[in-house]
Amino acid sequence: MKIIPFFLCFLFFSTLLSLSLSELCNPYDKKVLLKIKQSLNNPYLLASWNPQTDCCNWYCVECDLKTNRITSLTMFSDKELSGQIPAEVGDLPFLETLEFRKLPNLTGPIQPSIAKLKNLKFLRLSWTNLSGSVPDFLSQLKNLTFLDLSFNNLSGSIPSSLSWLPNLGALHLDRNKLIGPIPYSFGVFHGNVPSLYLSHNRLSGKIPASLGNMDFNAIDLSRNMLEGDASMLFGLNKTTWEVDLSRNRLQFDLSKVEFPKSLARLDLNHNEIRGSIPVGLTAVDDLQFLNLSYNRLCGKIPVGGKLQSFDYSAYFHNRCLCGAPLQGCK
């Protein structure tokens, strides 16, 4: 008679143990995720977020294989998801990757609670309708290696404190409504020198001379209202592979510029750049894209390297350039 109660107890505790073993997700993280789902109006994208299932198996979520804590939260390409970035995202302390991308109905400012995510390495909030300023508190995320706030409606000036992110490898602030000058501090990054993307904004004034101290892998300042000299961005000893300064109001003498041998893409179109094309550009063997059109350049296009491999559109609408692929010089 005592065997039956013992068997029932054994079965009960075995079932509990089986459930606990199958549930890898941390219960605190699961609770936070369910609050996030509710804040975003329970979109279909998060249909797998069922409280009866293991949250480490949910869509848009990744867990650490050892600790089972949530390390990645990535949501993208959903027109139904709406609302603001939930404050609860800041309650996932082990988060290393946070991405909200191509969510046209995600609105409001960048959530201040993100500043609590001290382990965050990758932050992408792009192709949304986020508005407000680029927050200064992002400089507290010292482990960030990638920051992308592109394709939003962010306004105001760029906080100089972003230069204090010591591990940053890429900074994307392009395609917003940012105004004012490029911070002088972007010429004194404290750590890595990130690839810098600031295009398609309303930035104005001169490019800080301090940026000449940096060896950017890539720098894109195109489609702003920048003026003055940009020659400091180049240099024979730099390792830059892409420079895009097109559609600004830049004025400098191109003939005095020395180009990095590593340069693969150079776009200077629609500025007020004068002088001639330096012969040194023929030594840039890896050049794959060139556009010097709509400037005030004169003289013969140097022969050699990759310069004759580009068609006339790379050179037309200058003051008096001549030579292949344009008409011959007289």
CA distance 130 to 149: 9
Model confidence at 15: pLDDT above 50 = no
Please say whether the beta carbons of 141 and 164 come within 8 A: no
- What pLDDT sits at residue 177? 99
Res. 16 pLDDT band, cuts 50 70 90: very low
- What pLDDT sits at residue 281? 98
Res. 22 pLDDT band, cuts 50 70 90: low
Model confidence at 11: pLDDT above 60 = no
CA distance 154 to 209: 26
pLDDT digits (tens, 9 = 90+) for 242-263: 999 999 999 999 999 999 999 9
Range in 2-16, 126-140, 218-232 the model is least confident about? 2-16
Alpha helices in the chain (DSSP H): 3-22, 27-39
Residue 49 neighbours by CB under 8 Å, 6+ apart = 33, 34, 37, 55, 58, 59
Task: Classify strands 274-275 and 249-250 as parallel, antiparallel or unpaired.
Answer: unpaired
Return the closest-CA partner of residue 126 out of 194, 75, 60.
75
Res. 8 pLDDT band, cuts 50 70 90: very low
**Bond before 27 cis per omega within 30 degrees:** no
DSSP string, 25-60: S-HHHHHHHHHHHHHTT--GGGTT--TTS-GGGSTT
- The residues facing 62 across adjacent strands are 72
CA distance 213 to 190: 12
pLDDT digits (tens, 9 = 90+) for 151-204: 999 999 999 999 999 999 999 999 999 999 999 999 999 889 999 999 999 999
pLDDT digits (tens, 9 = 90+) for 134-159: 999 999 999 999 999 999 999 999 99
Which has more pLDDT, 10 or 102? 102
Which CATH superfamily groups domain 229-330? Ribonuclease Inhibitor (3.80.10.10)
What is the arithmetic mean of pLDDT over 92-105? 98
Model confidence at 103: pLDDT above 80 = yes
What is the arithmetic mean of pLDDT over 290-294? 99
The first and second tokens of residue 206, run together, are: 């001169």
pTM for the model = 0.92
Please say whether the beta carbons of 211 and 235 come within 8 A: no
The first and second tokens of residue 237, run together, are: 């000893």
What is the arithmetic mean of pLDDT over 43-54? 96
- What pLDDT sits at residue 330? 84
- What pLDDT sits at residue 10? 46
- What pLDDT sits at residue 14? 43
